[in-house]
Structure 1
Amino acid sequence: HLEKKIGKDQFPSDEHYYGLVNFGNTCYCNSVLQALFFCKPFRNRVLLYRQQSKGQKKETLLSCLADLFYTVTTKKKKVGQIPPKKFVQRLKRENVLFDNYLPQDAHEFLNYLLNQIADILQAENASEEANKRSNAEGDVEINSSNSRTWIHEIFQGTLTNETRCLNCETVRTKDEDFLDLSVDIKQYTSITNCLQCFSNTETIQSENKYYCEVCRCKQEAQKRMRVKRLPELLALHLKRFKYSENANRFIKLSYYVPFPQELRLFNTSDDASNPDQLYELMAVVVHSGSGLNRGHYISLVKSDGIWLLFDDEYVDVSPLTAFLFSIRDLTLDVDMSLVIISLAFQAFYEN
């Protein structure tokens, strides 16, 4: 029993640990929802949204999520399981991609969910503004797509793409916002190293030369990506699926990628607003199985210093050193205190 395992004295007084019932291959959804639930800035904003929008009739994906989070946090029992039926039904109604019993991609789901919530908030903000500003002259047109929401406040960071012409040395920069970062991985390379490779300088030459507006012709150039603004919650997606032309399908890279519990990002741009930030690992989504559209997702989350394993309805304390996957079979000398898990698909770091 989970409460006994954690111990009455150690069990966090304000926390609930509820597994989510699987509605036929919805583990991709359950694992991401558990990871997000234990990212406190996100959970708090979802619950606040519910409190502020009481009496609102319209059902949305966000209202269903808020109801689910509220139900878990107000349960009398500390431990149990709950069917996220209303949320899953709404998800399937809104996006045909998820309206089947096939296994889905957890990263695709996270992306859809965050963007959808941002769209809902922007539409609601625009409608409120229109109500405030409409007067005798008629409707006021408002550009809802530009308003920043709390999704952006929590998850959005900014990358800057720097291109330096090797002839005239002019540097052009182009900013790009992200809600999560997709990172290429290599065997036996830590996530810190993968993030550094993300900012490696690449030389553009031969037929791929860069058109320099100063030189007014194509020139050799150097290109690199750097982080300009770091988010409050850093959502990382490890690119574990790679298209193989030989096999004519996506193959899984089951590489061992150590995750530090604390992560510091150094590959920031010169004009970065917050260059030196320390992040703490809060949640990890893991994919087991060989294919993109097969296999199973689970999540590991950190709650009040305790690591827990959520596998659909099943919840348990996670013994990190002897986890489900074959960390102990590796011949490497690994410091277990630094390694949570080797086969992570997504990781959530909190600033």
Structure 2
Amino acid sequence: MDAIVAALVMSEHPDDVKVQYLDHILLKGALTQEQEAAVADVLWAAWPAAPAQHGLRQLRGQFLVAFRRYVNSPSSNDDDDGACFAWMRTETRLDEWRSAIKVLLLFIVFRTPADAGRLHRIFQECPAPAFGRDLPLSALCLKPPQLAEMLIKAGRIPLLGFAGDWLRELLLCVVVSEAWAVLLKGGIDVLLTAAEQLNDPCTADGSLVVLETIFLGYQENADVFLTCYSHFYDRIARWPSASPAFDATTLVHLQKLLHGLLFAFPGHPLLQAPLRTLMAQLPPLPAEFVVETYVDALRWTNCAPAAASPFFAAEATPGAPTTSAPARQHSDAIGLKNIGNSCYMNAVLQGFFWTPAMRRLFATRTNAKPGVVAEFCALLGRMQSSGSSWLDARTMERFRSVLLPEYQTTRQQDAAEFLHYLLDALESDKTVALHEVFQGSTMRTITCDACKTASSAKEAFTDLHIPVGASVASTPVLADLVRAQFAPEELSARLENAYFCDVCQCRGDATKLVSVERAPTHLLVSINRFEYNRLCGAREKVCTAVDCRDHVILPTAHGDVPYDLYAAIVHAGTRADHGHYYTYARHLPDSDWHLLNDSHVARVDDAMVESALAHATTDTPYVLFYKRRETASKKAKISATNGADALL
């Protein structure tokens, strides 16, 4: 067979005729491996003539030969190099590329930068095959330090042409193989190098490919994005007015990435404003762009278990090196590490920490039985005494490990539901007078309209649940909504809530009145932000703005009681199944507001908090913490007696 092919190649037939005969021989001849090898030798001898190139493409394993000839060539044969590289630029079959990619990655590790020019050219000029989810790192037989070196060297290739796509596939290869140590060691270098190349219009699009792969790949928390934010934003902020101008497709790519970042990581108000300002200067998104689809496609799904996530595992594994937190910047505030969608937990813990009575009751206790109470005491104690800017992942995981199983996963949970669970768990310790902090009591009275018989029942409460409508004519004021909770309510057949009177022995009209008998020292108010849509069969968020500024008045049976706001848990996002929680908090009576957003802590001005509490429709107040305002007589009594209420 090889003799026939040799004769054909040497014949005087036109190239198109030779190609037809070669197809007949190679595609229909059912050659043995020995025959294929012999034919390949003939065709390589004729290389780079057109019939030889065409024939070799039909033979298995010959692309790897062409690849090796190119990367190992001393550049003495321009025709040979050009033909080999032309094949590489047009080859799209992953089966052909698979072995070549292994060679390419090994060469990246072992070749010096001076000898890596051809490797760079492959990255930049050859379309990247989709090998990220197909090639296990174990196939390279390299140790983790060598793999990290490979990632770093690949990340330093100028991101021209297709280089960003190649680096994306390599990153996916690391992630799919769950080589978190490799990603930790090399990933930051890749991020910073990619960010540096955002300044050049020629490398900017490749940089965006790399940055979106990492930023939107690891969505378990925003730490990676926030850590690199300044390196990222400082460069892209100049794009709209840059000279020379950036390509329009690159600007649209940036617009997509910014939309994706705001969707995936809501709840960072200090960063959102400049990003939204920049987005307004960029070209609009194409009509078919769907941000949920874009974000979901980039997510690293195997990061869901917290212990397997690249950034949590290094801190939570005993004996592993930790990411050291900087020294505490705010004496009265500390951050909490997000350990995988644990923002709801962190927000609630911050609300309790900024309640002085909770610190008095729990932070100094050392004799609690093992369990939730003991770990809560230890956590508040560390928040109070730690010299670091945030509590690390190990500390947070230790606390989470004693909670109910549903709170030990990385699934997002409802902050208000977790708050009630934690209060119930803390109340199990009967030696703690928790009722002195949040508990109040109401008297519910129902009066029959027919016989005027009144039925009363006393009930304890720890918070008020305030409903809010999805469509309202104007922004409701929380103080009005609170007062409305204690207005008389009609019970009647017309409203399908008729009252059964034991005296009349029938259902009829009645009036229900709930009044506060005992006002709590601290008032918790939960705004009902989530409701079930029967038409859609899904839980939805009510994004109506509610004016929650400063204080509320709680009507009681003994007169109005004023309360001042000292903490607010905010839910960021427009969907019930997606979002982020963070907390604003301050010390009363007069103090600066702090933004407590997982491990990030910052002082913020009153105007920012006031706007968030009065007008927000995405970052909406959800659970509010109020302290009963002390009257002049109350203050005098406390000063004279130095009573326990001074700390409540």
TM-score by length of 1: 0.76
The equivalences for 1:1-351 within 5 A come to 15-50=331-366, 53=367, 58-75=369-386, 77=387, 80-83=389-392, 85-119=394-428, 121-122=429-430, 125=431, 149-186=432-469, 187=472, 188-206=475-493, 208-266=497-555, 268-269=556-557, 272=558, 275-303=559-587, 305-322=591-608, 343-351=620-628
State the one-letter code of the partner of 2:489: E
Task: Quote the offset at 1:150 in angstroms.
Answer: 1.5
Instruction: Give the 3-state SS of the residue equivalent to 1:343 in structure 2.
Output: strand
Give the strand-richer structure, 1 or 2.
Answer: 1
Contact 2:336-2:396 within 8 A present in 1 as well: no
- After the TM superposition, list the runs of 4 or more consecutive aligned residues in structure 1 that deviate by more than 4 angstroms: 323-328
Instruction: Give the 3-state SS of the residue equivalent to 1:94 in structure 2.
Output: coil
Partner Cα distance (1:92, 1:249) in 2: 30
Instruction: Give the 3-state SS of the residue equivalent to 1:33 in structure 2.
Output: helix
Partner Cα distance (1:258, 1:185) in 2: 11
Task: Quote the offset at 1:323 in angstroms.
Answer: 5.2
Partner Cα distance (1:84, 1:42) in 2: 23
Give the helix-richer structure, 1 or 2.
Answer: 2
Query: Does the C-alpha gap of structure 1 residues 84 and 62 become closer, same or farther in structure 2, counting only changes over 3 Å?
Result: farther
The percent of aligned pairs where both chains have the same amino acid is 25
Partner Cα distance (1:174, 1:105) in 2: 30
Contact 2:337-2:396 within 8 A present in 1 as well: no
State the one-letter code of the partner of 1:221: A
Contact 1:61-1:87 within 8 A present in 2 as well: no
Partner Cα distance (1:297, 1:350) in 2: 22
Partner Cα distance (1:66, 1:32) in 2: 15
Structure 2 spans left out of the alignment, 5+ residues: 1-328, 629-648
> Which protein has greater RCO, CA pairs closer than 8 Å, 6+ apart?
1
Q: How many residues align?
A: 291
Partner Cα distance (1:163, 1:327) in 2: 35
Task: Name the structure 2 match of 1:136.
Answer: none
Contact 1:259-1:342 within 8 A present in 2 as well: no
Instruction: Give the 3-state SS of the residue equivalent to 1:295 in structure 2.
Output: strand
Query: Does the C-alpha gap of structure 1 residues 327 and 108 become closer, same or farther in structure 2, counting only changes over 3 Å?
Result: closer
Partner Cα distance (1:69, 1:342) in 2: 27
State the one-letter code of the partner of 2:342: T
Contact 1:204-1:210 within 8 A present in 2 as well: yes
Partner Cα distance (1:346, 1:59) in 2: 29
Task: Quote the offset at 1:349 in angstroms.
Answer: 0.2
Residue by residue, what CA displacement relative to the aligned partner does 1:112-139 show, whole Å, maximum 9, x if unpaired?
11110101x12xx4xxxxxxxxxxxxxx
TM-score by length of 2: 0.42
Task: Quote the offset at 1:92 in angstroms.
Answer: 4.1
Partner Cα distance (1:210, 1:118) in 2: 34
Task: Quote the offset at 1:86 in angstroms.
Answer: 4.2
Partner Cα distance (1:343, 1:229) in 2: 29
Partner Cα distance (1:157, 1:33) in 2: 21
State the one-letter code of the partner of 2:414: D
Query: Does the C-alpha gap of structure 1 residues 229 and 261 become closer, same or farther in structure 2, counting only changes over 3 Å?
Result: same
Partner Cα distance (1:306, 1:326) in 2: 15
Partner Cα distance (2:509, 2:394) in 1: 56
Q: Compute the RMSD of aligned alpha carbons.
A: 2.6
Task: Quote the offset at 1:64 in angstroms.
Answer: 1.2
